[in-house]
Structure 1
Amino acid sequence: MSTGATSVALLGYGRFGRAFADLLLQTGHRVRVFDPQASVPERIDATSLAQAVTGASWIVLAMPVPHLRDALLALRPLLHAGQSVLDVGSVKLRPCALMDELLGPAIPHVGTHPLFGPLSLARDERPRRVVICPATAHPQAAARASELFRTLGCEVIVQDPEDHDRAMARTHALAFFIAKGLIDMGVDDGMPVAPPSFQGMQHMLEAVRGDAGHLFGAIQRENVFAAEAREALLHELDRIHRQLAADPDDSMAIATRRERD
């Protein structure tokens, strides 16, 4: 039982929502789930949004970003200042702006991005990290969210929403972009002679498929910096491709981190 056990209303029971609910329950938190589109276990199922939210200290928004505005509009009349709202999306600019707009100074809220998913939770991979993006009007909500995630075994990283999305564009979005290209090429379909150097790439492909492969389009389109990152990568790959063709002496090498710095 977690020493910081609290009551959580989880709105959304997709792949991440299910894994997150299990993690909350395993660490002693009380969970009620509302998702009329999903099959939710009876012991944690709420029959209405109001039933889920009533008595909850935390309201967790675990639905796709395009559904956030409607969810917040439906939620707002049910909330009071003693409750806190957080989202768990992989982009932060739009969710944080929506919560600022629709919850304002009256309802504590905070943006979060758990840097783990169903597959990494199943493997109990560590370290388990989460990004917290505090709302200017609610620093205490960010502090409480940090404590909540620490009860889940997470290391906490505090970031501005824009800095977060820029970083995710060059990591999360690019990883999914590369993985989709390789998967669509059939690169990971039965590779008995793959060298050890490919194992890290194979792990990335498995993680993308297992954690959130179905969210590929959302991850690319909802991050306003993703297109720029993809274009920069394609530019560099094209430059390297052309340089290889023009370099008969094969003098190219991959720079080490120390050499790049």
Structure 2
Amino acid sequence: MTIGIYGLGRFGLFWAGKMASLGRVVGYNRTPRRFPPSIELVPLDGLSECDVVFICAAISAIPQVAKDLSAVLRPGTLVMDTCSVKEFPLASLVRYLPEQIDVIGTHPMFGPDSADSSLHDLPMVVTPTRGSDSLVQEWADRFSSLGMRVMVMSPEDHDREAARTQGITHFIGRLLASLDLKPSPMGTLGFKKIFEVMEQTCNDPWQLFLDLQQYNPHTKEMREQMVGKFDELIQVLSGLSDNSTHDDGLTEK
């Protein structure tokens, strides 16, 4: 089996390494640059050799990627995205890829930072889109064989759940980063944990954060709920301040 990787950024290089145990891996990147010698580079039309192509590109880039691939892939090829949002990219792939191209959505709920040493028990979402049930099961079994914990769900269910897990985590991480927080020798365990969240989320591309917030139809509602709850807490604290007598016990008798 020949596996193609479209997009050799930080995640694409990571994913190419993980897929190498399943077959021959080749990679294509739109922007030419120097890659590790372990990566077998091919031009765009070289992906026509592949049995399966994983798209490791920004969510916002998927429509153009689908158009690029539609010109070179042969009938019967399987295309899988790896996006953190499912409804928008899968709709784009179905729209722009010929009907003879199978499509399965995937979302590895991890990346180079959290899965460098092992894939054991890390969550992997599989979203059936266009293709047979047996094909979906075949790849779910392959992911399981690599140690991943596979969950099969619809694009809508994925995006609703992701908005309140990954979406909120990235939002809070970027918010904390904007406060210019620094490690502190007096930092509590709780502070260290939120600092880790900030570091991990900010290690991902800024475009990923923007796309998570823009292309998941449920993240706007999540943000609005957060702002509402923030305002409620501020009102509670303001009420405490307004009701305080500030008696310091030093009034002259």
Q: TM-score range by the shorter chain?
A: 0.7 to 0.9
Instruction: Show the counterpart of 1:74.
Output: 68
Of stretches 68-77 and 223-232 in structure 1, the one that deviates more from structure 2 is 68-77
Question: What amino acid maps onto 1:34 in structure 2?
Answer: Y
Which of 101, 110, 116 is 1:107 aligned to? 101
Matches within 5 A, 1:1-261: 6-25=1-20, 27-37=21-31, 38-54=33-49, 56-103=50-97, 105-124=99-118, 126-135=120-129, 137-187=131-181, 189-212=182-205, 215-247=208-240
Question: What amino acid maps onto 1:246 in structure 2?
Answer: G
CA shift, 1:171, in A, is 1.4
The alignment partner of 2:68 has SS state of helix
The alignment partner of 1:167 has SS state of helix
The alignment partner of 1:133 has SS state of strand
Alpha-carbon distance in structure 2 between the residues aligned to 1:203 and 1:40: 29
Alpha-carbon contact 1:33-1:40 (below 8 Å) kept: no
The alignment partner of 2:114 has SS state of helix
Alpha-carbon distance in structure 1 between the residues aligned to 2:24 and 2:132: 24
CA shift, 1:175, in A, is 1.0
Question: What amino acid maps onto 1:49 in structure 2?
Answer: L
Q: CA RMSD in A?
A: 2.3
The alignment partner of 1:243 has SS state of helix
CA shift, 1:211, in A, is 4.1
Query: How many percent of aligned residue pairs carry the same amino acid?
Result: 26
CA shift, 1:111, in A, is 0.7
- Distance verdict in 2 for CA 1:143–1:32, change over 3 Å: same
Alpha-carbon contact 2:59-2:208 (below 8 Å) kept: no
- Distance verdict in 2 for CA 1:10–1:125, change over 3 Å: closer
Alpha-carbon contact 1:86-1:112 (below 8 Å) kept: yes
Unaligned runs of 5+ in 2: 244-253
- Distance verdict in 2 for CA 1:123–1:45, change over 3 Å: closer
Instruction: Show the counterpart of 1:3.
Output: none
CA shift, 1:166, in A, is 1.3
- Distance verdict in 2 for CA 1:48–1:22, change over 3 Å: same
Alpha-carbon contact 1:57-1:84 (below 8 Å) kept: yes
Q: What is the TM-score with the length of structure 2 in the denominator?
A: 0.86
The alignment partner of 1:224 has SS state of coil
Alpha-carbon distance in structure 1 between the residues aligned to 2:147 and 2:102: 23
Alpha-carbon distance in structure 1 between the residues aligned to 2:92 and 2:121: 30
Alpha-carbon contact 2:120-2:146 (below 8 Å) kept: no
The alignment partner of 2:203 has SS state of helix
CA shift, 1:164, in A, is 0.8
Cα displacement string for residues 186-232 of structure 1 (whole angstroms, at most 9, x for unaligned residues): 22x12221111223222212221234455221221121221111111
- Distance verdict in 2 for CA 1:226–1:179, change over 3 Å: same
The alignment partner of 1:32 has SS state of strand
Cα displacement string for residues 94-137 of structure 1 (whole angstroms, at most 9, x for unaligned residues): 11111222235421111111001110122537531111111155
Question: Could you say which structure has the larger radius of gyration?
Answer: 2
Name the count of aligned residue pairs: 242
Instruction: Show the counterpart of 1:256.
Output: none
Alpha-carbon contact 2:6-2:54 (below 8 Å) kept: yes
- Runs ≥4 residues deviating over 3 A: 123-126, 211-214
